[in-house]
Structure 1
Amino acid sequence: MARTDILLATYNGETYLPALIASIEAQRDRDYRVLVRDDGSRDGTLTLIDAWRRRDSERVLVLEADQPAGGAAANFARLMAVAEAPYVLFADQDDVWHPDKVGTTVAALMRAEAELGRETPVLAFCDLAVVDADGAVINPSFRHFQGMDAVAGAAFNRLLTENVVTGCAMGINRSACRIGCNVPAESLMHDWWLALVCAGLGKIITMPECLIDYRQHGNNAVGAKAWSAADAIRDKIRSGRFRANQQRFLAWMDRLYAQAAALERLHGAQLPPAQARTLAAFRSLPQQSFLVRRMRMIRHGFRLSGVIRTIGFYLRA
């Protein structure tokens, strides 16, 4: 059995898939297997995958898709359910991996297991270079580009309100895969769900290395968007649609509360006391008065990256 399973969920990805495949084949750490599941592509994706499988049948395994998963999160969840390796990495079809991505990520996970034990769920995630459709660098750091605090933001309380873990940048150990593979419908994305599980029950490692070219081409499932405080304030002033924006924000908060409720339902009994109290405090927010809700948000550190984002969050929540 390979030391690492690389999970690749595909859908109509023929344009950029060859570059990803080449970058996986160029990994210095070759102790891996690739599990591929396609979600009903109508372009040449399956032809590319089949050619890859025939070229490297020992490393590439294509899962039969009996019915569409209906999205990237569900597709990855089905891949996690069949992964068997001690370490699991996630690949998006339109990115390019740097040659040390597998080795560096697995080394970080192994160091954590040496300290905490293999039964502790562990997640490690790297930085990414933001590139355009042709691969030209837009920003050498996705975290800087997004104005993201990827260290403090990986704490359990912070992850309840904002995700700083990008799926294609993360790796998990066997324990995290076993515990987190049951991705509920309430989860906002598989990477966010795994981050919550690992922060609550184990450990998250924020790796400083940039190990991926994160391609932006207009059809990304999530994608990256530059952020600045000045732009955020200017957009709010110009929008003139406060009520509609507030309704969308409150709908988003409802989704956060639903995700937290799913975490309580599935893993609440296993959470350490501190995380259990934090989760209970977050879930209680909708029932509190305006003043008490904000006091609890401040006390438990429920916030977003950056002062401007956090102020806006506290004013609207």
Structure 2
Amino acid sequence: MASFAKELLIAQLAVQRATLLTKRVFNETAKGAVDKSDKSPVTIGDFGAQALIISALHANFPDDEIVAEEESSLLREKASLRDQIWEFVRGVKLSDDEAEATIGGGIKSEEDMLKYIDMGASKGGRQGRIWCIDPIDGTKGFLRGGQYAVCLGLMVDGDVKVGVLGCPNLPVDDTAPLTADIASGHGVLFSAVKGQGATSRPLGDGSLAEGKAISMRPLTDMSKASFCESVEAGHSAHGDQAAISEKLGITAPSVRMDSQAKYASIARGAGDVYLRLPVSATYQEKIWDHAAGYLIVKEAGGEVTDANGKALDFGIGRTLAENKGVVAAPASVHGEVIRVVKEVLAKKAAA
């Protein structure tokens, strides 16, 4: 079985370097943001982080395809924004020269930067090696100083093999209680390789810090469980999730946070269940919003399926077109959670 040791190392260093850029953008631009055509906020950090990650991937794995969220057309139209992003990109590197040399992927000019951003246009699929990137997952969380994640996953023939999450505002302590206002300047780098377990380590600015294995919390009493959900009601059906929580006997209020930091939090035992139920019959989840977190939870002893208990299929394209919603929980109770999810959703459909 392939070890994916090089892929893991490059992915960890690439995500760590990208988080340096996102933190600098937050601190220095007063949360500068622009609007995409769909009016969702996009930060300077999205474009800069994507360029940095893709440059590292292309330098080390030039034949691999890449699925990424952003493309450069907006930057080609807005020279001032492009120049601002370039200033951040050119100024970011790891403090450890050996780590910087290992990752490679230098960006030499603004045009070079745009070229890398546009390498993320793969349509995905079930064949070959395909990386997927969300340069800043949880843009609104990023803008408000809350939770966000820099996300990178590798799929081989549609199967997620490597997952890395950089969560700059999660506390390093894996045992820290999970609360909606949890925030820390330290940050955590989570990673997993299929069949090799999941780890967490403090985010740094140079070589990788020492990592430690993480696992989901043993859960035998659902009344003592906690569950995470998205902050935005447009992303997840809060009412349905509240009904499911009640039926499961969960007494603690939900913890709402942005991004795949939710996956990371339950993977290390700070929470137990992550519910993301569809708010629209036509909405399709994007693979970059789930691939890395999905693998990290699975390797930490969890199960992740859609709301019907169906395995997530990352091999269709850029979306999880055949899946509706996401349910993540410890493997020992996942079946019980799915049973209640189905019951609540069926009752709603019949109403």
Q: What is the TM-score normalised by the length of structure 2?
A: 0.33
**Which protein has greater RCO, CA pairs closer than 8 Å, 6+ apart?**
1
TM-score after normalising by structure 1: 0.35
Q: Which has the higher helix share?
A: 1
